Amino acid sequence: MLPSEMEILFVSHKYPPAVGGMEKQSFELINNAALYLKIHTLVYDNRESILTFFFHLNQRILSKIKANPGIVLIHFNDGLIAALASFHKGYSHLKRVVTLHGLDVVFPFPYFQRKIITRFNAFDQVITVSQATAEAAQSRGIDPSIISVIPNGVDPIPMEPEPVNRQHTSLQTAMGHATVNTDLTPYFITLGRPVKRKGFSWLMQQVIPAVQGNFRLLMVGPFDQTPTWKERMLNLMPAKLYHLSTLFMGHPTDQRAMRKILSAHPEKIQHLGKVPFDQLKQLLAHAHAFLMPNIQVPGDMEGFGLVCLEASSAGTLVVAAELEGITSAITHNHNGLLIASANANAWIEQLQSILDNPAHYQQLGHKFKQNTCTQFSWDIMARSYCQTFADLCKNS
């Protein structure tokens, strides 16, 4: 069966208009796969509650199959929806594939680990977004013969340097009228939700104060300057329940520590909150490096490291922790620099070297950009999925 003749049903509860890495991956997979095969979709679009979507999913899948008898394979785009689907009835004659992203493998709920993970063995193929996720799945009892690794893609970010007389204005706007002259002052940049595994408070406390010179750390992403009512309520929970709840909700568990450090080092560190995309591009364009200082957190993991690829595709030098799924996105001295996770001395030495030798590392950033854009794209990812689907169905 040729890929163009195949009909695939994509099922996902992570999809626009919701925003996030998994939503982006799901959107790009579906829309790029549509270039190579005939697709059908059942995706959550926020028009009903998520519980209603899950409750009706089995019947909706059966209805979709009945209306489109050419469907030969169903793809579930993360472990949660696949876990629910493993209890479904009525379509076991079709090939079934699930993509696992990281947290949907290591989530530390005992029942999930003991009873649900091994149910993924009933699927015909388990695709993981990184080698680290594949190893985590295998270590939890998933048959390695059905596991394959297909990395995520990335949108190349065109980066045309602004005229010198405009650089200062755009960066000032992005920083909310900050007083630092970023066209003159070197800076590093981070991007992402302030969750513990990202290592932001560790970087702020253990590394940045020890680096010498006139520079700043600029942090971008969602951030509450003061505790929200939800944060206050979660902080009242017992430790184990707090850990499970915050992991499941993606709650920003690093914010409290970050607030204290920000107030202690206002001359070195500034959190900008969310910024418009055009201004983020300019911040990346003029940064000395993009930093991803992840640390190990029990029950959590970085499944891939998409933000590293996005930064590298903008021509920004990426310095990242050599940890978990990040190593499937960044290869040392190929499209970024990998530093041992939580090794403060190594991070201090590397950042100091970047500040002391800016021209050399700027050239590296441009070289790494080419390697990233050659190796990673949403089209490459989608074609890999399509080939996997074709291989599964070739004897059907």
**DSSP structural state of residue 316:** P
Residue 171: its pLDDT value, please? 52
202-204-210-214 Cα dihedral, nearest 10 degrees: 160
**What is the rounded distance in angstroms from the CA atom of residue 286 to the CA atom of residue 295?**
26
Beta bridge mates, 339: 321
Encode the chain (396 residues) as per-residue pLDDT tens digits.
Answer: 445 579 999 999 988 887 777 888 999 999 999 999 999 999 998 899 989 999 999 999 999 999 999 999 999 999 989 999 999 999 999 999 999 998 889 888 888 899 999 999 999 999 999 999 999 999 999 999 999 999 999 887 665 554 433 344 445 544 444 444 445 689 999 999 899 999 999 999 999 999 999 999 999 998 888 887 777 787 777 778 767 776 776 777 888 899 999 999 988 999 999 999 889 988 998 999 999 999 999 888 899 988 999 999 999 999 999 999 999 999 999 999 999 999 999 999 999 999 999 999 999 999 999 999 999 999 999 999 999 999 998 865
How far is the C-alpha of 220 from the C-alpha of 227, rounded, in Å?
A: 18
Q: How many CB atoms lie within 10 A of CB 88?
A: 15
- For 164-375, which CATH superfamily applies? Glycogen Phosphorylase B; (3.40.50.2000)
Q: Where are the alpha helices (DSSP H) in 235-377?
A: 239-249, 255-264, 277-286, 306-313, 326-329, 344-356, 358-375
Give strand pairing partners of 126.
Answer: 98, 147
| Distance in angstroms (rounded) separating the CA atoms of residues 121 and 265 | 50
Q: Which residue has the tokens 């253990």?
A: 206
Q: What is the pLDDT of residue 179?
A: 43
Write the DSSP assignment of 207-250 as a string of letters. TGGGS-SS-EEEEES---SS--HHHHHHTTS-HHHHHHHHHHHT
Question: What residues contact 179, with CB distance under 8 A and at least 6 apart?
Answer: none
Phi-psi region at 227: left, alpha or beta (left = phi > 0; alpha = psi -120 to 50): beta
- Is the four-CA dihedral 11, 310, 133, 246 of positive or negative sign? negative
- The Cα–Cα gap between 314 and 372 comes to 10
Q: Which value, in Å, is the radius of gyration of the alpha carbons in the chain?
A: 22
> Is 3-153+377-393's fold the same as 164-375's?
yes
Cα-to-chain-centroid distance, residue 282: 21
Q: What tokens appear for 301 in the block?
A: 């993991």
Q: How do the domains of the chain map onto residue ranges?
A: 3-153+377-393, 164-375
Q: What are phi and psi of 145, to 5 degrees?
A: -70, -15
Question: What is the pLDDT, as a whole number, of residue 241?
Answer: 74
Q: What's the start-to-end Cα distance of the chain, in Å?
A: 8
- Asked: is 3-153+377-393 a CATH 3.40.50.12590 domain? The reply is no
Tally of CA atoms within 13 A in the half-sphere of 213 that contains its CB: 19
Task: Give the pLDDT of residue 395.
Answer: 63
Q: What is the pLDDT of residue 396?
A: 59
Phi, psi at 332, each rounded to 5°: -60, 130
CB 120 within 8 A of CB 104: no
Identity of residue 90: G
* Rounded distance between C-alpha atoms, residue 292 and residue 190, angstroms: 7
Query: Tokens representing 205?
Result: 């406390």
